[in-house]
């Protein structure tokens, strides 16, 4: 490879990493930039990650297919792909199986790789466990030398001019887990780990801790396997369903820039109520907030953001992060039949006994179950993650946690913002690791825009540096 070729590492080959790699290849073609994209992830597949690796036909996209194009400038790309794959089977209004979307993303990257332009893709099936600067902390470097060295799980170093961290969702947090459960075959810490559900003991009911999106998927899977499911969370709230048919759109509300969180809450509740009266459905009001959610979030001081996460997040999540109507019907059928039961509750203790687990809740109730499954959702506080890459970035000063703890502190373009006055390294991120800055950042409509913008920013930054090298 010529010394002037740029090397960009994309760490993670799930949806965010695949979309970023595809956009880098597209942008390199448009800019005629000699580029090698190094897409690094130990998974055997590309494009699936945790969300789309499932092969269950009952695990559906949580939004209609019409919203799921890989490209913000080609809104019909996914629905066109569906029609080419199986003409007449799916429409843009359908919530299609998630496995189909993983297949689509792999095809998106293959098409970008095969497209015109000098960009090349190198897929590396390893884990990145560390990153360090090789330019002495000076950006740009005075000579055309890659400024980053990534350490792979094998110990091999990999040089890069820039890296994009597309790490996706991490396994669930375990702060609530009683000590006696750790290491027990009757406790499942991560239901999305390959083969995890199949390894659960089959006798006895399953207790799912958490009642969000993960719980719905796992409850429907285990319920179909003939197992009784009990699910608990602090509030016992369930995700609400999407509407059965397409809804009208409404403009977002106008808010006072100086409003505090209580005033904003009242204004948003009033807006949603007005939309329900005008359009006949509260979902119109919630959906109208999508273009302005990040702006509202960024107006809040850190204390108000923390208050939202502590007091209002559960209620927001069940209205904002909804489930397909088919999943809602299946869940209701299971609940009506007694196979699935959802109640408020907090686990105080759990002790494995001979053929089961005895669980005690904070209200004094007890429950004997065959297995306990952690469905609390991904751990988002980077300060609590047991991940060598994330920990190394924080301890080395290449990254800093967002003040909320939700992901990294980032610039508006997604570049990692180091602590104090250190110059930023050529490191960017997207998706869940930007939640502290944006609140809503893990859905495809947000990720595809971030992937497009990061690809443009990275190549613009690196080509400008390259021009200075060659001047």
pLDDT at 381: 95
Whether the predicted pLDDT of 112 surpasses 90: yes
Average pLDDT over residues 315-342: 96
For the chain, domains (ranges, CATH) are 6-170+381-470 (3.50.50.60), 179-240+323-374 (3.50.50.60), 261-320 (no CATH)
Give tens-digit pLDDT for 428-442.
Answer: 999 999 999 999 999
- Average pLDDT over the chain, rounded to an integer: 93
CB-based burial label for 410 (10 Å; 0-12, 13-18, 19+): buried
pLDDT at 257: 86
Average pLDDT over residues 110-131: 95
Average pLDDT over residues 228-239: 96
Average pLDDT over residues 359-363: 97
Whether the predicted pLDDT of 117 surpasses 60: yes
Could you tell me the pLDDT band of residue 140, with boundaries at 50, 70 and 90? very low
Average pLDDT over residues 442-454: 96
Percent pLDDT > 90 in the chain is: 86
Could you tell me the pLDDT band of residue 471, with boundaries at 50, 70 and 90? low
pLDDT at 238: 97
pLDDT at 310: 94
Average pLDDT over residues 107-112: 97
Give tens-digit pLDDT for 251-293.
Answer: 999 999 889 999 999 999 999 999 999 999 999 999 999 999 9
Give tens-digit pLDDT for 41-63.
Answer: 999 999 999 889 988 888 999 99
Percent pLDDT > 70 in the chain is: 95
Q: Is there a contact between 440 and 290 (Cβ–Cβ < 8 Å)?
A: yes
Could you tell me the pLDDT band of residue 136, with boundaries at 50, 70 and 90? low
Average pLDDT over residues 190-202: 90
Give tens-digit pLDDT for 386-434.
Answer: 999 999 999 999 999 999 999 999 999 999 999 877 889 999 999 999 9
Give tens-digit pLDDT for 157-172.
Answer: 999 999 999 999 999 9
Whether the predicted pLDDT of 354 surpasses 90: no
Whether the predicted pLDDT of 138 surpasses 50: no
């Amino acid at each position: 490879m010529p010394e002037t070729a740029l090397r960009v590492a994309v760490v993670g080959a799930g949806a965010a990493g695949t979309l970023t790699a595809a956009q880098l290849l597209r942008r390199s073609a448009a800019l005629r930039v000699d580029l090698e994209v190094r897409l690094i992830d130990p998974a055997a597949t590309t494009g699936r990650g945790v969300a789309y690796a499932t092969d269950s036909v009952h695990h559906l996209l949580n939004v209609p297919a019409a919203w799921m194009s890989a490209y913000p400038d080609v809104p019909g790309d996914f629905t066109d792909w569906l029609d080419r794959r199986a003409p007449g089977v799916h429409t843009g209004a359908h919530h299609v199986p998630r496995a189909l979307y993983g297949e689509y993303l792999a095809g998106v990257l293959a098409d970008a790789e095969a497209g015109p332009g000098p960009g090349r893709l190198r897929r590396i099936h390893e884990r990145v466990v560390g990153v360090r600067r090789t330019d002495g902390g000076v950006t740009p470097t005075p000579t055309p030398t890659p400024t980053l060295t990534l350490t792979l799980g094998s110990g091999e170093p990999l040089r890069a001019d820039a890296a994009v961290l597309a790490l996706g969702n991490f396994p669930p947090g375990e702060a609530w887990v009683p000590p006696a459960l750790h290491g027990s075959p009757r406790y499942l810490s991560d239901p999305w780990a390959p083969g995890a559900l199949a390894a659960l003991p089959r006798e006895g009911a399953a207790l799912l801790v958490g009642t969000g999106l993960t719980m719905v998927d796992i409850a429907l899977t285990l319920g179909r396997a003939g197992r009784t499911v009990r699910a608990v969370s602090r509030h016992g709230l369930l995700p609400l369903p999407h509407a059965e048919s397409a809804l009208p759109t409404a403009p977002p509300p106008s808010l006072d820039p100086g409003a505090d969180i209580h005033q904003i809450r009242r204004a948003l509740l009033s807006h949603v109520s007005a939309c329900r009266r005008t359009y006949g459905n509260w979902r119109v009001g919630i959906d109208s907030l999508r273009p302005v959610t990040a702006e509202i979030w960024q107006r809040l001081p850190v204390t108000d953001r923390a208050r939202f996460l502590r007091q209002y997040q559960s209620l927001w999540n069940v209205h904002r992060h909804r489930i397909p109507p088919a999943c809602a019907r299946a869940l209701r059928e299971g609940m009506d039949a007694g196979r699935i039961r959802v109640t408020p509750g907090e686990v105080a203790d759990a002790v494995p006994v001979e053929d089961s687990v005895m669980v005690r809740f904070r209200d004094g109730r007890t429950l004997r179950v065959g297995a306990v499954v952690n469905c609390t959702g991904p751990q988002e506080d980077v300060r609590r993650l047991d991940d060598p890459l994330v920990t190394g970035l924080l301890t080395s000063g290449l990254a800093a946690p967002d003040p909320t703890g939700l992901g990294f502190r980032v610039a508006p373009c997604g570049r990692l913002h180091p602590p104090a006055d250190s110059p930023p390294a050529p490191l960017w991120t997207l998706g869940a690791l930007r939640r502290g800055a944006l609140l809503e950042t893990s859905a495809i409509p947000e990720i595809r825009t971030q992937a497009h913008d990061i690809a443009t920013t990275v190549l613009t930054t690196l080509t400008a540096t390259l021009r200075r090298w060659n001047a």
